Structure 1
Amino acid sequence: MTTQLKSGHTAEPLSDEESARILKDFPGQVDGLVRVQPGGWILPTPYLEIADKIYDFKFHESDVVVMTHPKCGTTWTQEILWNMVHNPNIDSPAAEEAVNGRSPYLEVDMFFMGKMKEMILSDTSNPMLKQFAELCPGANPADGIEIQRVAAMPGIRIFKTHLTFPLLPPDLLDTTKVVYVGRNPKDMCISYNHHYRISRTLDFQGDMDLFVDYLTNDELLYGPYWDHIKEGWKRRDHPGLYVLFFENLKADPMAEVRELDKFLDTDLTEEQMTKVIEHTSFDKMKARDAFFPMNEEMKKKIMNQEVVQKEGGFFRKGQVGDFKNKLTPAQESKIDAWTKMNAEGMGIEFKYSI
């Protein structure tokens, strides 16, 4: 069955054969997947329940949107921007809350409307749910918890999205500011593989050879990766967009924070920028477990603890070049060929070491 979206796209479920193959390798994806055309974007089936609401979402002039393909430095960038805007002196009590509570994940409802719905709603410690109840009295959670919560949030909102530009409001860049973050495909692959293995809603069961096949065949969530990158890169000259690369931020965070300060008009002092950089270092974010707005019991339910204990949780390494320890020469060659086929002529030279 084809679904027509307000964005002009159409969405169709994957074929029975493709769905069966993916469910075998990713048994956590019980909600199924749709392919959104044009573009071939792969998204969970419940995306269809919120697609038009996202396309119609009213952004404010003061908003900032962090846009990335998954595992390209999203949470790190969210934390940097939120602290630049709301906590430049690193003295705000709100900074102790998990980043996804302070900096909303625009389309996250599509993960709440299926298998995870009852589990998420039962977590009374989740600050997002508490804020939903406070900001949206009488609202129906079935209409989207996050989409309603963020619409009612006061002040400057720092958003996160993994959706691509064509699926978002067409006036997004003319309305607000967007920071697009890219990362070299080899390190992204390693980080995404880890994410797919620790998340119970994905639960990847194969080896790295199989994962690289899924990646290069554009069959992972939010893919195709290269089209995602291209949609950001081709808008790079728009005054409402700042394109940031994970590797540059890692190599010289002060240089990038200075540029972000200009882009956001935050007018921070050198001392404030230094404080923000120190507070948002990988080690400090990992130590305070900055991502999850949920209790330890809930984390155990949604994360594969065996993988977490052996290889780390949401914050794993945050390095440039770790792919050298994980990919075989054959896997690297496959990604290199995929990169050459898709990136030629783009004018982007990814850094694979710093």
Structure 2
Amino acid sequence: MAEKHFPYEIKNVTEEEDKLVKQYYKGYIRPFIRVGPHGHFSMAGYGDHAAEIYNLEVRPDDIWVLAFSRSGTTWLQELVWLLKNNLDYDGAANTLLTKRFAFIEYPTMSSEINQGPPPSGKSGQATVDDFSNLHTLPSPRFIKTHLPLSLLPPTLLDTAKVFYIARDPRDVAVSFHFMHKLFRYFDEGVQFTEFWELFKKDLLLHMPIFPHIEEAWEKRDHPNMTFVFYEEMQKDLRGVIDKVSLVLGKEYTDEQKDKLAEHLNFNNMKKSSAFKFGKDDKDSEIKFMRKGLSGNWVKYFNTDQLKREAEEYMEKHLNKTSLRFPEA
């Protein structure tokens, strides 16, 4: 099959922007880049492989989980995998999620100085498989990505089942801040106010967040797209279990669904050794499974100016779309 031309412009951020972000993202030599009409921010390594990822073969029995980082990806992955695999709790317990799902773009985020991506979890890696060997994996494949729909294979939605989870960007900003420290993208001393400045300017990995979510939101009625909110999973996890079961063609008893909901309870997942990594200090927020709360952003946007900026940020973007996040 002929390779499709990657249709989007890839350009370097401005010299001023590059100088600014390199004060935070350490270990990168080449300029950071923006991709496509929304200017999605990434490391230069993604530009090297953007066309390969865009041209990945999609199989009809693939299961793809998409999300902007720190939006509930892991939560949704565990739910989807268990429902698809007949509630195989032993299989889930014995095989890390980083093996069960291929995180396709992860190698493209590698540091150019340290020659490797930031560490992740007790296994020392955020994924076992990626875009480079995806074609060798047996079906059905489970695939995770933080890339927006537009940068993924154009046949994806018409071919495979796609699950997308979205979360209030203010809560994402807080969780993303701690993730940058957890995975050592940023030094631990970086303050949230500094991170928020970069967030507003779309100078963080995967940003901007609103176009990322809106691309999936606009496809929410496509028969292969299942769009859920993080807040929806918090308020009505059983309802989401029912929705995903139906999409996957699976039927389970109420008792089985109740057991799954208990397994997926945030505090239960947080206690699991599979997800329990980060700082041992119980008061530290530099953890993979941090708080799992909605609306907790108010504790970090804790000055009148920050609250006003958060409100203005949301209003500015929500005015352009029908997308609305559920109340926390």
TM over 0.5, shorter chain: yes
What does the per-residue CA deviation read over 1:212-265, in whole Å, with 9 as the maximum and x for residues that have no partner?
Answer: 221122111111111111111111111110110000101110011101111121
- RMSD (CA atoms): 2.8
Per the alignment, do residues 120 and 216 of structure 1 end up closer, same or farther by CA in structure 2, a change over 3 Å counting? closer
Specify the alignment match of 1:134 in structure 2.
Answer: none
The answer to which of 247-256 and 10-19 deviates more is: 10-19
Structure that is richer in helix per residue: 1
Specify the alignment match of 1:296 in structure 2.
Answer: none
Per the alignment, do residues 30 and 249 of structure 1 end up closer, same or farther by CA in structure 2, a change over 3 Å counting? farther
Shift of 1:319: 0.9
Specify the alignment match of 2:228 in structure 1.
Answer: 244
Tell me which amino acid in the other structure corresponds to 2:295. G
Instruction: State the SS of the aligned residue for 2:77.
Output: helix
Aligned ranges for residues 335-346 of structure 1 at < 5 Å? 335-346=310-321
1:26, 1:205 within 8 Å by CA — same for their partners in 2?
no
How far, CA to CA, are the matches of 2:31 and 2:184 in structure 1? 14
2:60, 2:159 within 8 Å by CA — same for their partners in 1?
yes
What does the per-residue CA deviation read over 1:144-202, in whole Å, with 9 as the maximum and x for residues that have no partner?
Answer: x6223332221322211110111111111001011111111111111111112222133
2:34, 2:41 within 8 Å by CA — same for their partners in 1?
yes
Per the alignment, do residues 352 and 191 of structure 1 end up closer, same or farther by CA in structure 2, a change over 3 Å counting? farther
Percent identity of the aligned residues? Answer: 26
1:152 pairs, out of 136, 145, 153, with: 136
Specify the alignment match of 1:351 in structure 2.
Answer: 326
Q: TM-score, normalised by structure 2?
A: 0.88
Q: TM-score, normalised by structure 1?
A: 0.82
Consecutive unaligned residues of structure 1, counting only runs of 5 or more, are 132-144, 293-298
How far, CA to CA, are the matches of 1:66 and 1:342 in structure 2? 24
1:222 pairs, out of 201, 206, 218, with: 206
Instruction: State the SS of the aligned residue for 1:81.
Output: helix
How far, CA to CA, are the matches of 1:171 and 1:259 in structure 2? 24
Specify the alignment match of 2:270 in structure 1.
Answer: 286
Tell me which amino acid in the other structure corresponds to 1:107. E
Specify the alignment match of 1:109 in structure 2.
Answer: 107
2:24, 2:185 within 8 Å by CA — same for their partners in 1?
no
Specify the alignment match of 2:14 in structure 1.
Answer: 15
How far, CA to CA, are the matches of 1:270 and 1:38 in structure 2? 46
Specify the alignment match of 2:41 in structure 1.
Answer: 42
Specify the alignment match of 2:60 in structure 1.
Answer: 61
Tell me which amino acid in the other structure corresponds to 2:175. S
What does the per-residue CA deviation read over 1:4-29, in whole Å, with 9 as the maximum and x for residues that have no partner?
Answer: x9321121222222111111133355
- The answer to whether the aligner puts 1:199 opposite 2:183 as a matched pair is yes
How far, CA to CA, are the matches of 1:113 and 1:206 in structure 2? 19
Shift of 1:203: 3.2
Per the alignment, do residues 333 and 306 of structure 1 end up closer, same or farther by CA in structure 2, a change over 3 Å counting? farther
Instruction: State the SS of the aligned residue for 1:346.
Output: coil
Aligned ranges for residues 190-339 of structure 1 at < 5 Å? 190-203=174-187, 205-291=189-275, 305=279, 310-328=284-302, 329-339=304-314
Higher relative contact order (CA closer than 8 Å, sequence separation 6+): 1
Consecutive unaligned residues of structure 2, counting only runs of 5 or more, are none
Per the alignment, do residues 186 and 84 of structure 1 end up closer, same or farther by CA in structure 2, a change over 3 Å counting? same
